[in-house]
Homo-oligomer: A and B are copies of this chain.
Amino acid sequence: MSVKIYYEDFALNDSRKTTGRTITDADIVLHAGQSGDFYPHHMDEEWCKTQPFKHRIAHGTLIFTVGVGLTAGVINEVAMTYGYERLRFIRPVYINDTISTTIIIKDKKDHKKPGYGIVTELLEVHNQHKELVMVCEHLLLVEKRNPDA
Contact = CB atoms under 8 A, between A and B. Distances in A.
B81 A84 contact: no
A66 B35 contact: yes
Interface string A94-128: 00101000000000000000000000000000001
B35 A68 contact: yes
A61 B72 contact: no
A26 B30 CA distance: 8
A87 B43 CA distance: 25
Q: How large is the interface on A (under 10, 10 to 19, 20 to 34, 35 or more residues)?
A: 35 or more
A96 B83 CA distance: 24
B96 A45 contact: yes
A34 B66 CA distance: 7
A65 interface: yes
A112 to B, nearest CB: 15
Contact of A89 (B22, B60, B83): B83
A44 B29 contact: no
A21 interface: yes
A45 B48 CA distance: 24
A73 interface: yes
